[in-house]
Structure 1
Amino acid sequence: MNQSLTDRSANTSMVTIIYVLYLLALISGGITAVVGVIMAYVHKDGAPEWLRTHYELQIRTFWFGLIVGAIGGVLSWILIGLPILLALAIWWIIRCVKGLKYAGESAPYPNHLGWSP
């Protein structure tokens, strides 16, 4: 059964909030990303398939960002970590902005299981 466009738009609000929390994580030291990933886990299972692509992308983005961020942080003392952290921030922003775009169109996130931005 297809959902109406109004229902689809209403469903995007939580995904949109999580994307915004992820963007705010860049200036909050990551605290808002932790809140966002918890929200993504909570809402993922009951979501329609097209919306689940966003939640899965958000969860994968969080864990990849945490791992690469930790590696970049450790390597920062020898200056190799700084370019890693910069690349991570750019990748993070691109994924969130694209996610906001697709959510605004009530469309699934294409290739949500991949790692490309």
Structure 2
Amino acid sequence: MNDKSTPNEPPRSVTEPGGTPDTTLPIIVYALFLAGIVSGGITTLIGGVIAYVYRGKGPHWFDEHYRYQIRTFWISLLYFTLSGILTLVMIGFVTWLLAVVWLVVRCVKGLRALQEKRAPDNVDSWLF
């Protein structure tokens, strides 16, 4: 017999060849985004590069996470840049805090959806 499965092994999924994709990299990207709050953004850049490199290499719900992460990267770059400019008129500290809350909420929502093995909600949204 050339069958590679044993009788005690559950059958493999037909819809996703090779089983469920490994979610380690998207989790790392979300963690790098969160670490960017403390590191000044360098880890956010690394997370954005990882998301760009690995997009398109999995099932649709998996690729939607990378698209969500790429959008989060670019939108956070805009929000934090605007906050930096607005510090000149003393509003930037408030907008920076709002941008941090926005980033944390997006990452938590993405991680929760990843844990449930589904695409994140509102991928195209500028808010949450």
Greater than 6 Å deviation, 4+ residue runs? none
TM-score by length of 1: 0.91
Could you tell me how far apart the structure 2 residues matched to 1:24 and 1:55 are?
18
SS in 2 for 1:7: coil
- CA drift at 1:116: 2.5
Counterpart for residue 60 of structure 2 = 49
- 1:23 is aligned with what amino acid? L
CA RMSD of aligned residues (A): 1.5
Counterpart for residue 77 of structure 1 = 88
Could you tell me how far apart the structure 1 residues matched to 2:48 and 2:121 are?
19
Counting helix residues as a fraction of each chain, which structure ranks higher?
A: 1
Counterpart for residue 15 of structure 2 = 2
Kindly indicate whether structure 1 or structure 2 has the higher relative contact order, using CA contacts under 8 Å at least 6 residues apart: 1
Q: Is the 8 A contact 2:65 2:120 kept in 1?
A: yes
CA deviation map 1:65-115 (0-9, x unaligned)? 111111110110211111111110000000001111111111111221112
- 1:106 is aligned with what amino acid? K
* Structure 2 residues not aligned, in runs of 5+: 1-13
SS in 1 for 2:22: helix
- 1:58 is aligned with what amino acid? Q
Match for 1:101 among 78, 90, 112?
112
Paired residues in the alignment total 115
* Structure 1 residues not aligned, in runs of 5+: none
Alignment of 1:28-67 (within 5 A): 28-67=39-78
Counterpart for residue 21 of structure 1 = 32
TM-score by length of 2: 0.83
